Amino acid sequence: MSDAPAPLARCQDCGRILTTVLTICDPCLAAARKVIADIRDYLRQLPDVTREVMGLRAIRYDVSGPASVVDDSRLPFALDVAEDSISVNGPSALRTEAGTLSLLESWVQDWVALSGYSPGGYDTLTYLEAHTLWAAQNHPAWDVYLQEARETRAVVRRLAGLAPEREPAPCVHCGGSIVHEWTVQGLADEAVCTGCGMTWRSRRQLEAVNRWHVATLPKTYPDVVVTLEEARAICPAVKRNTINQVLKRDRAMAVPLAPRIRFWGLDHRGRALYVLADIAALASTAREELAS
């Protein structure tokens, strides 16, 4: 028999090593429950007119049997409440916010049918939140549910006017989007990267970090390729005319020698790309010419 240790069990959602007999780790379980809690909070913040237009109502499932009765006259996932013509099932069929929210109602019916746990007096969101652990452990389409719940949260969040504000520049660490969340006090000063999770205390700190990162690019990433506009922003000491003169001389060389500014091709918008280190070097050249 092999004495090799058994492989460690990992979370089905994130891959963390598990410390319990569950198939999902505590952080992922809490995050899944928070999706529903967030939807509840956002619905409470919808204007009354928006609630009426969306057809939001307090849906209760007061059934006596182990599973709810499915009405065969209804479209799957309760998508018949949408005004659009639905020809397929699932998220790709959703065209309205009402249809998206109805998708959550269908999961209650689905979970009841599979688990036998009657919703009793629970409303849709409370049932989903209360039975999240069961679904994570037992439902064969757990990942589908989680994705659709997150999409629903995004829709309701936009309706409530609470979508996060995005910074124009991406994260300097991973290239992800940086956002400011809305709180009860208003837009948060804290900025968070949706990719790597890096956090900045304020927009001022974020701007300072970005300026420092940009200023050090010629040393930290000298071989990166940039457009002329980007090069000027990174190397403000290099005059536009200086760059243009050097490029003109490079093109005018009778013998194709090594150019002072290496051309690297075009970006997706057709703009010329050049090696940053070559343009940054022009700053020291200019200083030497002024000193001589």
pLDDT in tens, 59-93: 444 433 333 334 444 433 333 433 433 334 555 55
Q: What residue spans in the chain does CATH classification 1.10.1660 cover?
A: 221-291
Tell me the two tokens of residue 143: 């990942």
Q: Are 165 and 187 in contact (CB under 8 A)?
A: yes
Mean pLDDT of 163-174: 80
- The mean pLDDT value of the chain amounts to 76
Mean pLDDT of 145-163: 83
In this model, does residue 175 exceed pLDDT 70?
Answer: yes
What is the reported pLDDT for 40?
86
Spatial strand order of the sheet with 178-180 comes to: 165-166, 178-180, 191-193, 199-200
Spatial strand order of the sheet with 272-275 comes to: 225-226, 272-275, 263-266
User: Distance (Å, rounded) from C-alpha 43 to C-alpha 36?
Assistant: 11
Q: Which one, of 254, 265, 188, lies nearest residue 225 by Cα?
A: 265
What is the reported pLDDT for 76?
37
pLDDT in tens, 215-269: 888 888 888 888 888 888 888 888 888 899 899 888 887 665 678 888 888 888 8
Mean pLDDT of 198-213: 87
What is the reported pLDDT for 162?
79
According to DSSP, the residues that pair with 10 across neighbouring strands are 17
Q: Are 237 and 190 in contact (CB under 8 A)?
A: no
What is the reported pLDDT for 268?
82
What is the reported pLDDT for 4?
54
What confidence tier does 112 reach under pLDDT thresholds 50, 70, 90?
very high
Contacts of 282 by beta carbon, 8 Å cutoff, 6+ apart: 235, 238, 242, 243, 246, 260, 261
Average the pLDDT over each of 8-22, 65-79, 116-130, 257-271 and give the range with the smallest value.
65-79
Tell me the two tokens of residue 197: 């999770």
Look up the pTM and report it.
Answer: 0.53
What is the reported pLDDT for 240?
87
Average the pLDDT over each of 41-55, 104-118, 271-285 and give the range with the smallest value.
41-55
According to DSSP, the residues that pair with 192 across neighbouring strands are 179, 199
What confidence tier does 94 reach under pLDDT thresholds 50, 70, 90?
low
The label of the residue with tokens 């959703």 reads: 94
User: Distance (Å, rounded) from C-alpha 236 to C-alpha 199?
Assistant: 28
User: Distance (Å, rounded) from C-alpha 228 to C-alpha 233?
Assistant: 9
Indicate the CATH number of 221-291 among 1.10.10, 1.10.530, 3.10.260, 1.10.1660: 1.10.1660
Give the three-class secondary structure for 131. coil
According to DSSP, the residues that pair with 183 across neighbouring strands are 186
DSSP 143-196: HHHHHHHHHHHHHHHHHTT-PPEEPSSPPTTT---EEE-EETTEE-S-EEETTT
Q: Are 275 and 225 in contact (CB under 8 A)?
A: yes
